[in-house]
Amino acid sequence: MKGVILSINPQTTIIDLSHRIPSHAVEDGAYVWRSCYRYFPDGTVHVAIVDPGVGSERRPLVAKSSRYFFFAPDNGLLTHVFDQEAEVEVRQVENKQYRLDSEGHTFDGRDVFAPAAAWLTKNQSFSSYGRVVGDPYRFKIAQPHWEQSALVGEVVYVDAFGNLITNLFLSHVKEVREFTKRPNPLIRIANHSIDGLVGSYTEGDRTAPHALINSDGQLEIFCKESSASVLLQVSRHEAVKLS
């Protein structure tokens, strides 16, 4: 893909966000993308590809927000972008001028997305890419909800260290504090109870899970110097209760 991009625009600065997203893990890819895209300069052209969807009937898409362009297959990867960015316009990538010819269709990253993205850095117009898409695929983003006297969220991502990142934000912790009139929330996950928050990964002992507010403002559950995912036998979608 990089050779294709540099052949079209040798001045491009190319940055790899992640090569660690497992095949088919569209929600993971969407989450990682969400967590970092906004740190890039205005005008950045983002490209994300996670199977399945590439090379199949899934349409290749390009989206335009006030700050960025985003290329991805129509498989849900853009879900968080739609959720976070205002006034996103989406088009199908179908202009054959921005495509490499090849006999098969297994490497759309190289043949479709890379050249299309590179031509956008050469000031091709957004509308020249193809027809407007009104119904791009979005998966459901889980939202915390109250069940009796607990605010129930869930694990939305397990990072490379096995830390459990939840959809509960500092604002949810404050909401629970106002309800319980206690400064420290009780956090329950998979038969474990965690009493309150610590300030960093180096606090607490190694015998129990701990929780903190991470640098994205999200409640995160970790085990000191080991994998909370392995130790608690927990993965994405596991419920996390605040009370």
SS3 (DSSP) at 72: strand
Give the Cα separation of 177 and 217 in Å (integer): 16
For 70, phi then psi, to 5°, come to -135, 125
Note whether 196 binds a second copy by CB under 8 A: no
Question: Across the beta sheet with 60-64, what order do the strands follow?
Answer: 45-47, 69-73, 60-64, 89-92
Stretch that binds a second copy, among 11-19, 80-88, 117-125, 143-151 (CB under 8 A): 11-19
Is residue 67 close enough to count as binding a second copy by CB under 8 A?
no
Could you say whether residue 53 binds a second copy (CB under 8 A)? yes
The secondary element (H helix, E strand) that includes residue 242 is strand 239-242
Near a second copy by CB under 8 A: residue from 28, 85, 111, 238: 111
**Which of 203, 230, 233, 235: binder of a second copy (CB under 8 A)?**
203
Counting residues that bind a second copy (by CB under 8 A) gives 51
Residue type for position 81: V
**177 interacts with a second copy by CB under 8 A:** no
Of the candidates 126, 139, 146, 161, which one interacts with a second copy according to CB under 8 A? Answer: 161
Contact window for a second copy (CB under 8 A) among 78-86, 125-133, 182-190, 196-204: 196-204
Asked if 66 touches a second copy (CB under 8 A), the answer is: no
Contacts of 243 (CB under 8 A, 6+ apart): 149, 150, 151, 176, 180, 185, 186, 188
At 35 the three-state DSSP class reads helix
- What are the b/e assignments for 31-63, b being 16+ CB within 10 Å? bbbbbebeeeeeebbbbbbbbebbbeebbbbbb
Binder of a second copy out of 127, 217, 230, 237 (CB under 8 A): 217
Task: Return the residue matching tokens 């960093």.
Answer: 200
Asked if 150 and 243 count as a contact pair (C-beta separation under 8 A), the reply is: yes
Q: Which of 39/134 has CB closer to a second copy?
A: 39
- Pick the piece of the chain touching a second copy (CB under 8 A) from 5-13, 91-99, 150-158, 232-240: 5-13
Nearer residue to a second copy within complex by CB, 132 or 208: 208
> CB under 8 A: which stretch of 44-52, 124-132, 147-155, 180-188 binds a second copy?
44-52
Which parts of this chain interact with a second copy (CB under 8 A)?
2-4, 6-7, 10, 13-15, 23-24, 36-41, 44, 51-58, 102-108, 110-111, 161, 170, 199-203, 212-218, 220, 225
